Structure 1
C-alpha cells in the first residue's frame, strides 16, 4: 500500500523539478569521480604492471661519471648478476640524412629483468630476447628508419664509427622516458663505444650498473657498497624510480582530482539546496498524511524510498556517462603516450558509488529528518514547522561532508585541513563582501518605478542566497579564465618575448681542438655563434663545510637527514670565464680578481635558494674531486633570452686541471640549414639540440593538458549552473508572490521582466569581476614562481570575466523564471495555493 503511494508521489514530484536537480547533481558528482579516478587509475596500473621491469634489474647504480669496476667485481663474487650501461646522445648519419639519437651501450647480460622486443624488419613479427646486441650489431628504433630512410642491413654512422643495422628495436624494459632525441633510440654493444669516438674527456655521458639477485644478498651488498659511494652516485630500486614523466603524471592526476573536487562541491551545494527545498514542499503533504492516520514509519518509508530511487538512478546514470567519458579520455591519453592503458580496477567504481551515496545521504538526511517531525496541526496552522527550515546542524553536516570528501580525494590529512581552511576563508570573505555590496541596494536612491532599482532591491532582499551563487560562479569563472589565459595568452606572451635572432640550436659535446675550426666555419658562412663555453658537470657538495643532504634509497628504507641543508638535487653545468657574459648583470659583489684562489659567481635565484652570502666557501664535487671556491658575486640572468647561461661561473684558475667539452648556441635561418647540416657532417661527434622542436613539443603537451582542464571546466560550469538553477528553483514560490503583489499594485510586465533580467545580470557581472580579480592576481604569482618570468597583468580578462559571467548567469537565471512571468495573476495564485 505505502509503496504504491510512494511511487505516485515520486512521479508527481519529478515534474516539479527539485528531484530532477538532486538527481542531476548526484549524477554529475558520480561521473566526475568515476571519470577522473578511472583515467588516473588506468595510468597508474600501466606503470605498476611494468614496475618489475622498469629498471631492467632489481637494483641499479647511477652516476654522471665513470663507476669503479671494483663494484661489479664484488657483486659478481657475491653471486649477483650484473650488467653495465652507458648512455650518450649523438648524431646519426645515413647518406645525406642525419638526426640526433639516444644511444645505449649495453653488455651482453642486459637486461637482467624483463625482455627486449625486436623485429627483423619493419613489417616483420615482434619477438623478445633476454640479451643485448653482439659486437658490431646495432638495434635501431622504428622512428629512425623513417627519418633516415634506411632498412635493416643498411649502414649508419655513429660518431666516427660505421655500423650495420641488425634489428628493429620495438621496446626495452628501461626505455628512457625523455631524452634530447625523443623516441629515437639505438642500442649497441658496450665494446663498440670506442669505435664511435664520441666519449671524450668532459663529454655528457651517463653511467649505470645493474644488479639482480636474492633480496638478502642485495641488501648485504649495499651495506658493503654504501660507505664507498660518492655523493654524486645513487643507488635505486623500484621504490626509488622517479622520472619527469612520472612526476608530471602524478601532479596532473592530483590537479585533476582537486579540480574535479571543486565540481563535486558545487554539485553538493546544488544538492543541498534542492533537497532542502524538496523537503519544504512536502511539509503540507506530510501533515495531511498524518492527519489521515499515516504513521511516522510509513512516511519515513515513503520518503526514504524517494531518496533511494533518486540515488540509485543517478548513480547508474553517472556511471554510464562516466564510463563513456573515461574511455574517450583514456584512449586519447594512451595514443599520446604511445601505449595501451589497462582497464581500471574496482576502485573508481567503488569510490564513485560511495561518493554518490554519501552526497545523497549527508546533504539530504537532515531535511528529511525535519520532514518526519512536521506536526499534523500544520493543516490548520500553516506556519508550524517553518522553524525547521534553517538548520545549523544541516549546515555543519554539509561542511563536514565537504571536508571528508577533500580528505578522501587527497588521502592527506594535513593537506585537506589546509585546503579546507583556505577555502573557508575565501568563502567567508566573498560572502561578507557580497553582503556589504548587495546590502546597499535600498540606499541608492533610485526611482521606485525603475527596473534597476527594483532589481537592486531584490538582490538586497536575497543577499544570503545571492552570496552563495556569487561564490559558486566566481570559482567557476575563475577556472575558465585560467584556461583562457594559460592556453592562449601566457604561452604566446612567452614566445613573443624571444628576441629577434634568438638562438634556436645548441651545439654540445664540442672537443677543444674543434673550437677554432668551427669558429672559422661560422664566420665563413655567416653563422653567428654566441660564444664557445667550456663545460663540466659538477654537484653542489657543501657550503662553509656543511654538506648538503645526500640522496637516500627508499628501496632500502633509508630516511633523509632532516637536519641536513637542502641542496640542488642534481648536477649542474659549470663553466669558467675571465669576463662576465654580456647578457648577465652583476647585482652584488665583484667579478673575479687576478689571484689564483678559486672563485665562483652564482645566479641570484640559486644563491637565494641555497641561502648563500658573499664570502661563503662553496664546495663543488667535479669528477670525484672537490673544489672549494669563494663566492664573490651574484648575477641576474635572463633565461628567456635562450642565450647560453649558467647558474655558477668559476674563474679559469679554479678549473685548469679539469678536461671539458665546449658548447655554443646559434640562430640558424631557413636558408642556412644546408650549411649548418654540412657542419654537423664534418664534426660527427658534435650533437645539436633543436630548440624549435622543444618549443613545439612543449606546446603539444600544453594543448593536451588544456583538454583535460577543459573537461574539468565543463563539469564545473555544469555544476555551477545546477547551483543557480537550484537557488532559483528554491525561490520560485517567493518570486511568484512578488509578481502577484507587483501586478496588483499596477506594475507592468515589462518592468518585472527587466528587473528580473537585471538582477541576474548584476549578480553574474559581480561574480565575474571577483573571479577576474582573483584570477589575475593568482596568474601574476604563477608567472613569477612557476614560469620564472616577469609577472604581467591581463586587463582584458577584467572585461571578459564580468561579461561572460553576466551573460551566462542572466541567460540561465532568466530562462528559469520566464515561464512563471508568462502566467497570468490568476494562474499564479492557483500555483501558490
Structure 2
C-alpha cells in the first residue's frame, strides 16, 4: 500500500464529506487573520523606524534647556559627521491688534540633516516644494498662524526687538512631522534673527538641540563618546520619534491583537474538533485495514498525508487572503499610517503559514495518534484506544508554540495573558461542570420519561465526547460574545472619551485679577460653566528628605530629576480623575496634603505617606502624600500630576488656566478677548480633536474587518462542536427506530440533548465573557467597561437556540436515512 497514492485518492474523495472541509476552513481563517494583522503591524513598524531619522531631523542629537557647548560640534566635525543647531521656544506674536501664541523654531543654514523642509505659496501654483531654511530677516509661517494674525506672504511681522518678513507658508518640517499633538502653530526663522531679537533671555523657556548625521557606525561610536559627556543634556535617538503616532496605534493594535488572538485560538479548537471527528469516523476503516495486513505506520502516514494535502492549499489561500485583507486595513486606516509604507516582508506571511502548520500538527495530529492503537478485533467489538500521553503533550506543545507565534505577530503579551488565562479557566471550569452534570444525570435518569430520558441518556452515554462538546461550545460562545458584545463595547467606551462637548480651547497665563472679567467674557460667548484652575510652577527638591530620582530614567539620560514641576491646588476632588488609593482631603482641611497621579508616583517611587518638598517661589513647603489618583489625560480637561490642598498653599505665586468648549462658528470672537488681554495664550485644539476622532473611527472600521474573520472562526468552532458526535447520533437513532421509536420522540430527545448542552455552555460563556471583558478593559485597555448583561444574556440565549436548531437540523438528515442503511454505514 502506497501512503502517498492512497492519501491523494482519499483526499479528493473525502474533501467535501465535511471533516476535511472544516479543517480546511479553520486553517484558512487562522492563517489569513494572522498574516493580515502581522503584516500590517510589521509594515507600520518598519515605516516608523525607517522614517525616524527624517522625523528627528538627524541620526542623533542632544537636547536641553541650556545652550550646548561648541566643543561637541568640533568633535563631530573631526569625526566626519554633519551637524546643525536649533532652538525652539513658545512666544506670543503680534500684528496690529492681533496676537497669537506660536512655536518658534530657529535654525541654521545646514538644517535639516535628514528629511526635507517644504514650503508653499511662493510660486504661482502655490504647490509645496523643497526649500532651504529661511535667510536672515525672513520667516516661514504655518497657515494657521497667518490666519490668526491676518498676515499674507510678503507682510512684516513684529518679532522681538525687530521684524521678519513672511517669505512662504511652512508646509512641512522634518522634526515636527507625524506628530498628532502640535498645539501652537509654528514659525521658522533664522537663528541669527533670534539672537538679534533678544528672545533667549532667562525666562524664555527655550529648548536647545544639536543634531548629528552620518554613517551608522560613526553615529554608534559618537553616541558612546557622548554618553559620559552629555551632562545635563539628553541624548536623542530614533526611538524618541513618532511618539504621537505610536501612541495612537497602541490602543488600535490591542483591538486588532484581541481579534487575531481569538481567531487563531478558535481556529485551533475547530481544527481539533474536526480532526477528532475525522479520526473517529475512520476507526472501522483502520480495523479492516489491520485485518488485511496493513501496517500501523502506513495507515497513520496515509491519514496524516490527507491532512497535509488539505493544509498546504489552505495555507496558500490563507496567506493570499491575509495579504488582501491587510491592504484593506491600510486603506481603512487611511492617513493614520505613514504615506510611504514599505513593501510587505516575508516574515509575517511565513509566520501565518507557520501558525497554519502548527494548527495542523498540534491540533489535528493527536487524534490520529489514537488510530495506532486500533486492534483488528475492532471489527467485532466497539473498543477504542484511550488518548495516549503523547497526544496530550502534542496538544500542549502546539498550543504553546501557536500562542508564542501569535504574541510575536501581534506584539501584545499582556493582552494574550489575560485573554488566554480567562479562556483556559473557562475550559477547565467547563470540563469540571460537564463531569459534574453527567454525574448528576446518571442519578436522575431513572426518574425521567420520554424525550427527556432519551436526550439526557444520550449525553450521559458519551461522557468524553459530551464534555468535549461542552468545552468547545463554551469557548466558541465566549469568544463570540467577546467579539460581538465586549469588543464593540470597548470601542464605544474609547469613543465616548471624546463627547461632543469635549474642551477644544485652552486659555493660559490668566492673571488672578483677570479671573472675573475672563469668565464673564467666556459666558457671553456661550461657554457653559467656564472655570479656571490655578497653575503653579516650582521645583521638586526632595522626597522623604532625599533628592528626587526618576526610576524610569533612561541610562543615557543624565537629568538628576530635580527639574521644574507644574502643580495646582483645590478643595475638592478633580473631575476626569479616579481615586486609586488613600483618601482625598476634606473641603475645609488646612493640612499640608498632596494628591499624586499614579504615573508620576511610579516615575519617582512615591507612596502614600511620603513627604515631598517643593520650592514654590522663594519658599520651601513640605506636603504629605495622602492619595493616589489616575487622570484621564485624553479627556482634554485641565489635569495635573501633582495636586495640593488649597488650604495649605498660602501665598504661592501662580497664574490661571482654563479649558472650555466653544462651537467652531464662534471661534473668531475669541480674537477680541486676546486683544483685551494681550497676556493670554489661546490654544486651539479643534484640529487635534478631529484627528483623534478620525483615529477612533478608522480603527473601529479596521477592527470590525478583523473581527469578521474571528466571528467566522467562532461559528466554525460551533459547527465543528455540534458535528463531533453526528456519527454516533445517527447510529443511535437507527437503533432506536429499529426498536420502534417514533420520529417525534427522536426529535424531542435531540432537542433536549442539545438544549441542555447549549444552555450549560451559554451560562458558562456569559459569565466568562463578562469577567474576561471587565478585566481586559481595566488591565489592558485602561477603560471602565461595566458588564453589558442584557447583550450578553441575549447572546447566551441565541447560543442556546442555535445549539437546539443545529441538533434539530441534524436530526432531519438522520431521520431521512433508512435504519438499515444507517446501521451498515456506521
Question: TM (normalized to structure 2)?
Answer: 0.80
Structure 1, residues 720-747: CA drift from partner, whole Å, max 9, x if none?
A: 2222322333311111122223434544
* Higher mean C-alpha displacement, 347-356 vs 357-366: 357-366
Q: Deviations over 1:337-380 (max 9, x none)?
A: 3523222111012212222223222333344444456455555x
Q: 2:396 aligns with which of 395, 399, 413?
A: 399
CA RMSD of aligned residues (A): 4.9
| 1:722–1:592 CA distance, 2 compared to 1 (3 A) | closer
Are positions 1:713 and 2:710 aligned together? no
- Which residue number corresponds to residue 354 of structure 1? 354
1:409 corresponds to: 406
- 5 Å-filtered alignment, 1:30-179, equals 30-63=31-64, 67-69=65-67, 71-80=68-77, 82-87=83-88, 103-119=104-120, 120-121=122-123, 123=125, 127-129=129-131, 131-140=132-141, 153=154, 164-178=165-179
Q: Which residue of 1 aligns with 2:471?
A: 467
Match of 1:187 in 2: 188
3-state SS of the aligned residue for 2:766? Answer: helix
Query: Aligned partners of 2:225, 2:597: CA distance in 1, in Å?
Result: 44
Uncovered stretches (5+) of structure 1, i.e. residues with no partner: none
* Deviations 1:480-534, CA, capped at 9 Å, x for gaps: 2211322346754x678x9xx9865321244678667645745776766413523
Q: Check whether the contact 2:7–2:302 (CA below 8 A) recurs between aligned residues.
A: yes
Match of 1:476 among 480, 494, 499: 480
Find the counterpart in structure 1 of residue 227 from structure 2: 222
Match of 1:574 among 560, 567, 577: 567
Q: Does residue 27 of the first structure (1) align with residue 28 of the second (2)?
A: yes
SS in 2 for 1:401: helix
Please give the secondary structure, in 2, of the residue aligned with 1:76: helix
Number of residues paired by the alignment? 801
Q: Return closer, same or farther for 1:679/1:200 CA change in 2, 3 Å cut-off.
A: farther
Task: List gaps (5 residues or longer) in structure 2.
Answer: none
The alignment partner of 2:135 has SS state of: coil
> 1:530-556, CA deviations, whole angstroms, 9 ceiling, x for partnerless residues?
1352333756864431532365546x6
Distance 2:194 2:710 in 1: 55
Relative to structure 1, the CA distance from residue 160 to residue 735 in structure 2 (aligned partners, 3 Å threshold; closer, same or farther) is farther
Shift of 1:32: 2.0
Distance 1:382 1:632 in 2: 76
Give the structure 1 partner of residue 717 of structure 2.
723
Counting only pairs closer than 5 Å after superposition, residues 393-472 of structure 1 correspond to structure 2 as: 393-411=390-408, 424-437=424-437, 439-441=439-441, 448=448, 451=451, 454-461=454-461, 462-472=466-476
SS of equivalent to 1:387? coil
Corresponding residue for residue 773 of structure 1 = 767
Cα distance in 1 for residues equivalent to 2:345 and 2:785? 43
Distance 1:473 1:506, change over 3 A: same
- Show the counterpart of 1:310: 310
Checking the alignment, whether the CA contact within 8 Å between 1:589 and 1:632 is kept in structure 2 is: no
**Alpha-carbon distance between aligned partners in 2 of 1:452 and 1:95, rounded to the nearest angstrom:** 89
Contact 1:28 1:719 in 2 (8 A): yes
Shift of 1:402: 0.6
Once residues 90 and 340 of structure 1 are traced to their aligned partners in structure 2, the CA distance between those partners, rounded to angstroms, is: 34
Give how far 1:148 is off.
Answer: 9.9
- Residues 199 and 686 of structure 1: CA distance in aligned 2, closer, same or farther (over 3 Å): farther
- Say whether 1:323 aligns with 2:328: no
| Helix, strand or coil at the partner of 1:688 | strand
**Deviation larger for 764-773 or 339-348:** 764-773
Q: Distance in 1 between matches of 2:137 and 2:90?
A: 19
Instruction: Return the offset for 1:19.
Output: 1.2
Write the distance in 1 (CA, Å) between the matches of 2:611 and 2:116.
48
For residues 124-159 of structure 1, the C-alpha deviation after alignment (integer angstroms, 9 at most, x for no partner) is 666445x53223433356788999999755778999
Match of 1:345 in 2: 345
1:261 positional shift: 3.0
CA separation of 1:600 and 1:163: change in aligned 2, threshold 3 A? farther
Whole-Å separation in 1 of the counterparts to 2:821 and 2:151 = 82
- Indicate the SS of the match to 2:357: helix
Report the Cα offset of residue 11 of structure 1. Answer: 1.9
CA–CA separation in structure 2 for the residues paired with 1:203 and 1:434: 71
The 3 A distance-change label for structure 1 pair 4 and 107 is: same
Q: Distance between the aligned counterparts of 1:267 and 1:348, measured in 2?
A: 18
Equivalent of 2:746 in 742, 752, 758: 752
Helix, strand or coil: the match of 2:175? coil
